[in-house]
Structure 1
Amino acid sequence: MYSFNSKVRYSEVGEDKKLSLNGIINYFQDCSTFQSEELKVGVDVLEELHRVWVLSSWQIVVERYPDLCEEITIATWPYYFQSFCGYRNFVMKDRKGQMLAYANALWSFLDTDTGRPVRVPEDIEKVYILEEKLDMNYASRKVPMPRDGERKEPFAVQKHHLDTNHHVNNGQYIQMAREYIPEDFPIRQMRAEYKKPALLGDMIYPVVQREDNRYMTALCDELGHPYAVVEVS
């Protein structure tokens, strides 16, 4: 397990002075990046190999959103590798060890020249110590498309949406979807499925649907094919 300690910053909170959902996502993403960098299989090493890890799906459960300046611990560990896939858990706890949020994520290992999945090399896989799968209620990694959703105004991908892979960062899709959800809607679980990368200048056509106590948002191209599908409940 890899972990680090932090304190909720003003730049990470919303109007309620609590860590935002996107802040939780960023902490989890940073935690896995820190582990890979410490194990010497980080961004620069993969770039030389023309390889990259991309997120295929998230399931994040929030027990409590921590407050501004609250001390937190973030941890992550991989629990399974299969061909080109890596499965990883995340947890966020308060200073007393109480669970704030936890997650399951599926990552795919890609060849950046072809954009196709490739098997994780043994010398990379073996540097990670596999640990027990987190005891949680695992949802399907498939997130349903809105069936009768409302189409929203399309918008273009901007530079600030991009990450080091030169496509929209996984957390940015969640931020995009969050724009269509009422501020007073209590998000206790978020699921996201990533279908294909959106690049600078691509147009995104959102489709949003509320069903019972959940919102489903598809962020699509002009043909209606999704870049990502996000569900919050």
Structure 2
Amino acid sequence: MYSFNSRVRYSEVNKDKKLDLTSIINYFQDCSTFQSEDIGMGLSYLENRNRIWLLNGWQIQVNRYPSLGETITTGTWAYDFKSMYGYRNFIIKDSNNEICAAANSIWVLLDTLTHRPVRITDDDIGRYYMEEKYDMEYAPRKIPIPENLKNYDSFTVVRSNIDTNNHVNNGQYIKMAEEYLPLGFKIRQLRAEYRMSAVLGDTIVPMVSEKKNLCSVVLADTNGNPYTIIEFER
């Protein structure tokens, strides 16, 4: 497992002084980026080969949200590569080695010239060490679009939403979607499926479905085609 240590910062907590979900996702993304950079297969390596890894889906389970100032360890490892897909687990542990959050993620290798997925080769993954997959109940990759969606006012993608791939960052979609959760909704599990990449200036139409313990948010274009489908479970 590749890992790094940190403390929960004030800029990462919510009104309850707890690490928020977007910050958990940022820790996960940073951890995988650090690993790739440290083994020489980071952003520059990918750019030189006209490749990028795009996130296809998250499944994140939260046992507890670490508190302000708490020491945490974020870890990640790859557990499988098949065809165009890479599979990676993440964890956040506290100082007692208790798991605060764990995640499964699915990535797609994309050719930046053709904008199409490509088959993974040893040149793409040769320096990653694979480990056993994390012991959790794995949900399906695909998330069905729920019925009886309620539309909300659309908004425009701004510069602060954009990452190094010139797309809306994975965590930004989650932050957008959280705005439509009922008050007091404490997230126990998140599932997200990314279908299209929104870019600067795109219009996003939020559509929401609420059930007893589930809130689904579809962030779509003006034709109703989903950029992302996000399922929050309390």
Does the TM-score normalized on the shorter chain lie above 0.5? yes
* 2:141 corresponding residue in structure 1: 141
* 1:159 corresponding residue in structure 2: 159
Give 1:113-124 correspondences, 5 Å limit: 113-124=113-124
Q: Deviation at 1:203?
A: 0.2
* RMSD of Structure 2 on Structure 1 (CA): 0.7
Kept after mapping to 2: 8 A contact 1:18/1:65: yes
* 1:94 corresponding residue in structure 2: 94
Give 1:49-68 correspondences, 5 Å limit: 49-68=49-68
Q: Deviation at 1:84?
A: 1.0
Kept after mapping to 2: 8 A contact 1:145/1:217: no
Q: Secondary structure at the match of 1:130?
A: coil
Q: Deviation at 1:119?
A: 1.3
Unaligned runs of 5+ in 2: none
CA distance in 2, matches of 1:156, 1:2: 37
* 2:231 corresponding residue in structure 1: 231
CA distance in 1, matches of 2:161, 2:218: 17
CA distance in 1, matches of 2:204, 2:98: 39
Kept after mapping to 2: 8 A contact 1:207/1:217: yes
String of CA shifts for 1:121-168, please: whole Å, max 9, x gaps: 212212111100110010111112131011000000000000000010
Give 1:69-84 correspondences, 5 Å limit: 69-84=69-84
Q: Deviation at 1:33?
A: 0.4
CA distance in 2, matches of 1:69, 1:12: 10
Q: Deviation at 1:212?
A: 2.2
Question: Is 1:211 aligned to 2:211, yes or no?
Answer: yes
* 2:199 corresponding residue in structure 1: 199
CA distance in 2, matches of 1:99, 1:55: 23
AA aligned to 2:171 is G
CA distance in 2, matches of 1:25, 1:85: 20
* 2:14 corresponding residue in structure 1: 14
* 1:182 corresponding residue in structure 2: 182
Q: Deviation at 1:225?
A: 0.3
Question: Is 1:46 aligned to 2:46, yes or no?
Answer: yes
Q: Secondary structure at the match of 2:117?
A: coil
AA aligned to 2:150 is E
* 1:132 corresponding residue in structure 2: 132
Give the percent of matched residue pairs that are identical in Structure 1 and Structure 2: 54
Aligned length: 233
Q: Secondary structure at the match of 2:209?
A: strand
TM-score normalised over the length of structure 1: 0.99
AA aligned to 2:159 is K
Q: Secondary structure at the match of 1:26?
A: helix
CA distance in 2, matches of 1:201, 1:161: 10
AA aligned to 1:157 is V
